[in-house]
Structure 1
Amino acid sequence: MSPSESDETLESFGADVGKREGTVTRVQEWFLIQGGRLAVAAVLALVVLVSLVAAYELEVVAFANPNSVTRVASGMIAGTFSLVTLVVSVNQLILSQEFSAASKARDRLDGVMEFRQDVAEEASVPASPAAPTRVLELVIEAIRHDAVELADAVADHDDEVRDVVVRYTNSIEQRADRIDETLEETSFGTFTAVSAAINYDEAWQLYVATHLRGEYADSLSSDATERLDELIGSLKLFNVAREHLKTTYLQRELTRFSQLTIYCGVPSILSAVAIGLLYADFTGPNVNLAAMPYAVIVLILIGLSPLFLLVSYILRTATVTRRTASIGPMIPQKDPDEGPFDVSYGEDS
């Protein structure tokens, strides 16, 4: 393995592939992932407000024609009812996962208990914590411990093997320290824990570990091979823990989205009705003509509030799902023509 190849084995091609630098990237990450969903919805509402006011001041749009305005109000009412129907469908999807027969519920419980027992054994604790974020912390600590043990196990190996493995374990320790610091400052109710979990590149680390085990099978001692297998097991546990955390959080996220949409649905319909009533008098609008456009704009914003919520929540859930779509060392972000581990059929023979 050449030096350049050794360097590339330490690069991350996991869920957080790409640099997180630059103002545009930070704004994008805040909009898609990091920002609170209500804050994102408020930003969308502000953008629409400024756009409508600017369009009116520039005489691009007008609010003088009652027929046009009432048609817009009718469309908003129809759209709100369609959105509420969508929310009901989302709730049915979530509830369908909760309803199960006794046998299926027992299997789910046994699976969770078995996983928690595996975490407890891996971390050498009596029982894994109840909080999901604390479980992730235990698994991360187990990964860091296994990496240190692996580095110690190859201390007396050949320079080539030792250098590659030590650099690999050093990268694991650095990544583990970063996610551990993040998890210590968060709770399950915030999205920061999920964000830290999906940005941890255990898929790439698992891929490198399995390749190193096959590449240096004859060069690694039995103790080093055992330490490497334990590290692979810990990385697998993290993958399972992350999927469990992600699934639980997204269920809570979609449930909250459903509640907020229902809360905003009634004011949205009432605001659309109010727009129509403003123009219902035969003598014209009852509101001062100078204030009428701004009153209609405010009512439009209220009517579009469920849409702002839909956009903000779906953007986050879709982004999280896309970044964690693969299981194990199957990394869609990785270009198939790149990387140091270019293999061909029958290479070992």
Structure 2
Amino acid sequence: MGVGLFAAFLSIFYGLYAVGLVRVQNPTAILYVLSSLVGGNLTLVTLVITINQVIISRQLGSPGELREEIENVNEFRERLFDSEDRQVVPVTPSDFLKVVLENVRRDLQRLGGLTADAADDGLREDANRLVTDLTDHVDTVTTLIEESESGTFNTLSVLLTTNYADRIYQLRRLKSSYRESLSDEATAALEEVVAGLQETDVARQYFKTLYIQTELAYVSRVLLYAGVVSETVLLSALLVLSSSSGTTTPEALPPAVAPGLAAVGLLPLSVLFSYVLRLAVVTQRTVAITPFTTPEQEDELDV
């Protein structure tokens, strides 16, 4: 997206130059523009990298803190698969999430089987509708994971429009509405489904944390590259313009170069915009953790 935004700036500026709306004749005006871009980019790059480094520094810790974090993550992983005959728990986000969803699907089928012969027609119909809806959702998400690459963002992206708080609310409303009609086995199966969805949401939030930390580190590096290129080009143009004592743009810096310089000056902003926009979308769509939700998450379409 950053490259696309830079190309858009380049097209707009050269488009204005081509139709004659931009005429570069006074080097003094260009000096002011280039000076502003140099100072603005230095401030932008310095500020963003400083903020990112503060956030990334949270990954640092003492051996005791790191050991505690590892134990907490391992406890979470092993708790999900206590009932599974698995020697090794998957370590990649996509494989891990697929196994979690397999457990949820298994519990859903068990719940559907236990309520299929219920004497209460309302319970039978509502349970069948809910089980079918959730099973279709699990199958759809599993298919999307299998079709996508195994990266953290690809795994996270298939869950961005999923509102687990609403689905858990529907399950608990079913339990509350048919408390007398549900058997003990069906109630236990329903609670297993709820627990599975909660753990899936925890996994989603953890993957989001990993993704944001990775992106913040990456954007710092890319922004440094873009900042160095931008500042080098702009400062070179400033030196060329400063060497001229005339009132027109020197031949060493033709007027047709000015729109390109303006686009290069906005290169760091293009990079920052592309990464911050994606981070903002991910955060907005997963800001609330079960059992709560937000109006923004309510407005999203479920997978």
Provide the TM-score with structure 2 as the length reference.
0.91
Aligned to 1:324: 286
Match for residue 145 of structure 2 among 166, 172, 183: 183
2:250 aligned partner, one-letter code: N
Contact 1:117 1:128 in 2 (8 A): yes
Task: Establish whether residue 286 from structure 1 lines up as the match of residue 250 from structure 2.
Answer: yes
How far apart are the structure 1 equivalents of 2:172 and 2:256?
A: 63
How far apart are the structure 1 equivalents of 2:151 and 2:25?
A: 47
Aligned length: 295
Taking a change above 3 Å as real, the CA distance of residues 335 and 248 of structure 1, as seen in their structure-2 partners, is: closer
Task: Establish whether residue 140 from structure 1 lines up as the match of residue 107 from structure 2.
Answer: no
Contact 2:105 2:135 in 1 (8 A): yes
1:113 aligned partner, one-letter code: N
Match for residue 79 of structure 1 among 19, 33, 40: 40
How far apart are the structure 1 equivalents of 2:67 and 2:241?
A: 60
Aligned to 2:2: 41
How far apart are the structure 1 equivalents of 2:230 and 2:154?
A: 31
1:303 aligned partner, one-letter code: G
Aligned to 2:86: 125
Task: Establish whether residue 204 from structure 1 lines up as the match of residue 166 from structure 2.
Answer: yes
Aligned to 1:7: none
Match for residue 150 of structure 1 among 103, 107, 111: 111
- Unaligned stretches of 5+ residues in structure 1: 1-39, 337-349
1:147 aligned partner, one-letter code: L
1:321 aligned partner, one-letter code: T
1:282 aligned partner, one-letter code: S
Aligned to 2:191: 229
Contact 1:161 1:219 in 2 (8 A): yes
Taking a change above 3 Å as real, the CA distance of residues 142 and 104 of structure 1, as seen in their structure-2 partners, is: same
How far apart are the structure 2 equivalents of 1:316 and 1:275?
A: 33
Shift of 1:202: 2.1
Contact 1:275 1:296 in 2 (8 A): no
What percentage of aligned pairs have identical amino acids?
31
How far apart are the structure 2 equivalents of 1:111 and 1:46?
A: 46
* More off after superposition, 183-192 vs 133-142: 183-192
Q: How does 1:47-86 map to 2 (within 5 A)?
A: 47-86=8-47
Aligned to 2:68: 107
Aligned to 2:51: 90
How far apart are the structure 2 equivalents of 1:335 and 1:67?
A: 51
1:209 aligned partner, one-letter code: L
Taking a change above 3 Å as real, the CA distance of residues 123 and 55 of structure 1, as seen in their structure-2 partners, is: farther
How far apart are the structure 2 equivalents of 1:112 and 1:83?
A: 36
Shift of 1:323: 0.7
Shift of 1:43: 1.8
Aligned to 1:244: 206
SS of residue in 1 equivalent to 2:144:
helix
1:333 aligned partner, one-letter code: P
- Unaligned stretches of 5+ residues in structure 2: 299-303
Shift of 1:329: 3.0
How far apart are the structure 2 equivalents of 1:288 and 1:267?
A: 20
Provide the TM-score with structure 1 as the length reference.
0.79
Moved over 4 A (4+): none
1:158-194 Cα offsets, whole Å, 9 max, x none, are 2110110111011111111111111113334363221
Higher helix share: 2
- RMSD, aligned α-carbons: 2.0
How far apart are the structure 1 equivalents of 2:165 and 2:276?
A: 25
